[in-house]
Amino acid sequence: MILEAEKPALADEFNPLLSAEARLDNAAALLGLDDGMRKVMRVPAREVTVNIPVSLDDGRLEVFTGYRVQHSIARGPAKGGIRYAPDVTLDEVRALASWMTWKCAVTNVPFGGGKGGIICDPTLLSPGELERMTRRYTAQLYEFIGPEIDVPAPDVNTNEQTMAWIMDTYSMRAGHTQTAVVTGKPIDLGGSRGRAEATGRGCMVVTEQALRRFGLERGNARVVIQGFGNVGGMAAKLMERAGFNVIAIVEYDGAVYNDKGLDIRALAEHRQKTGSVVDFEGGENLGREEAFFLETDVLMPAARENVITSQNAHRIRAKILCEGANGPTTYLADPILREMGVFVIPDILANAGGVTVSYFEWVQDRMGYFWNEQLVNDRLEEIMINSFRDVVAYAEKHEVDNRTAAYMLALDRVAFAIKLRGIYA
């Protein structure tokens, strides 16, 4: 969602790759990394572009363009989602792949960063057309993915069914069932319990850690969430259940507000019936901007990139900004938030719960032994709390904001791995 007030001073502000590179350069300079190491970490290890012919249901042949970018494999196989959307660009996929590198490093998960996408409008494709497109995409990437190479996962407009198709196609080519080639699969095909809730749960865990720094308890914390999908919707559900006061949900077509707290379960049922959060009996309608800029303890943008910019960052009235989405804040908005004293939990930390439980799924697949949900959740909480403490401690030690600290910590870990391995010639 791009709010109406957003009118970028620079067109480049909305390019996620430029934001990712600017933050990398800033952290690298503060770490004192040499130019050679910066060059290595600025560019992907591999980029693959494929053109995907698909037989449509009406007999026509269409060709879709797909990408897979592997930013880093210094600390382990590349890891990252695959998205289907008409606005997928190579720059976007490059940026998202680099964010996955830093996300895995911040949480100390032994993966590198990868990302993929296909330029298409999945709402215009039948299930059969989506399956044929997915299987052909997988076949064309066969030599570039695998449990030891690159492990895809769901992302925008893809799901566990998409992952099942990828796993099956890869397994048929390999000649044996290989469940560890993807994560985010159905539980019956080697998926992990707790995976669907993982990103939202991770956001909740780090939010509670941040609240403690302000002397606030769950029951006294007001939360505004932008997005009611897999991340925002799950975070809202889990936070309400844990005792947080979720006062507003902001969606693409409007917002709903209740200063005493929304009944998230009832709201989800209302949205399922009507297709919208507006006109919910348990709250009042608000404009998207009015709700997004409410005075609150926690603001969680959990939808798409570039919703907080240099043009609207000064309007944020939250003590804590927990970035459930990837890249919701532009690089030019960072200094504004810093000057305002907003406590930012950056995306590469806040939404790392998903990749953490994806790592758990990969581990379970490879050893053929699966954990119960409580064990998954306990281990996720431990990693998220430790990662939050690492970032905050790094910020205090180096006297920088949390986002800069998270990038510095991630770059430090990746650079250390590269130096230990050396450059193969």
Q: Does 331 map to a domain?
A: yes
Q: Say whether both 119 and 248 belong to one domain.
A: no
Whether residue 425 has pLDDT greater than 90: no
pLDDT at 28: 96
pLDDT at 79: 98
Q: Say whether both 169 and 213 belong to one domain.
A: no
* Entry pTM: 0.93
Q: Say whether both 211 and 181 belong to one domain.
A: no
Q: Say whether both 64 and 184 belong to one domain.
A: yes
Q: How far is CA 96 from the centre of its chain?
A: 8
Q: Say whether both 323 and 227 belong to one domain.
A: yes
Last residue of a domain, one of 331, 350, 369: 350
Last residue of a domain, one of 148, 170, 188: 188
CATH number of the domain that 108 lies in? 3.40.50.10860
Q: Does 214 map to a domain?
A: yes
Q: Does 334 map to a domain?
A: yes
C-alpha torsion 245→267→162→133, nearest 10: -120
Whether residue 83 has pLDDT greater than 80: yes
> Could you give the CA distance from residue 415 to residue 62 in angstroms, rounded to a whole number?
43
Whether residue 234 has pLDDT greater than 80: yes
Q: Does 355 map to a domain?
A: no
Whether residue 8 has pLDDT greater than 70: no
Q: pLDDT tens digits for 277-321? A: 999 999 999 999 999 999 999 999 999 889 999 999 999 999 999
In the chain, what is the greatest distance between 2 CA atoms, to the nearest angstrom?
66
Q: Say whether both 169 and 293 belong to one domain.
A: no
Assign 5 to helix, strand or coil. Answer: coil
Q: Which residue has the tokens 């709390």?
A: 385
Last residue of a domain, one of 142, 162, 188: 188
pLDDT at 11: 60
Residue 352, token pair as written in the block: 């790392």
Q: Which residue has the tokens 């290989």?
A: 178
Residue 118 dihedral angles phi and psi, to the nearest 5°: -125, 135
Q: Say whether both 87 and 149 belong to one domain.
A: yes
Residue 180, token pair as written in the block: 């560890």
Supply the mean pLDDT for the chain: 95
Q: Does 241 map to a domain?
A: yes
Structural domain span for residue 127: 47-188
Residue type, 199: T
Q: Answer yes or no: 273 catalytic.
A: no
Q: Say whether both 233 and 323 belong to one domain.
A: yes
Q: pLDDT tens digits for 337-364? A: 999 999 999 999 999 999 999 999 999 9
Residue 374, token pair as written in the block: 């409580």
Q: pLDDT tens digits for 394-417? A: 999 999 999 999 999 999 999 999
DSSP secondary structure string, 226-245?
E--SHHHHHHHHHHHHHT-E
**What's the DSSP call for residue 339?**
H
Q: Say whether both 95 and 124 belong to one domain.
A: yes
Q: Does 118 map to a domain?
A: yes
Catalytic residue among 79, 115, 237, 319: 115
> How many Cβ atoms from other residues are within 10 Å of residue 373's Cβ?
12
Going from the C-alpha of 397 to that of each of 184, 209, 374, 391, the distances in angstroms are 37, 18, 34, 10
CATH number of the domain that 294 lies in? 3.40.50.720
Q: Tell whether the torsion through CA atoms of 87, 1, 206 and 284 is positive or negative.
A: negative
Whether residue 253 has pLDDT greater than 60: yes
Residue 154, token pair as written in the block: 């769901």
Count of structural domains, the chain: 2
Q: Does 417 map to a domain?
A: no
Q: Say whether both 204 and 125 belong to one domain.
A: no
Q: Say whether both 233 and 346 belong to one domain.
A: yes
Q: Does 29 map to a domain?
A: no
pLDDT band at 257 (very low <50, low <70, confident <90, very high): very high
Whether residue 214 has pLDDT greater than 70: yes
Q: Say whether both 212 and 318 belong to one domain.
A: yes
328, 306 in Cβ contact below 8 A? yes
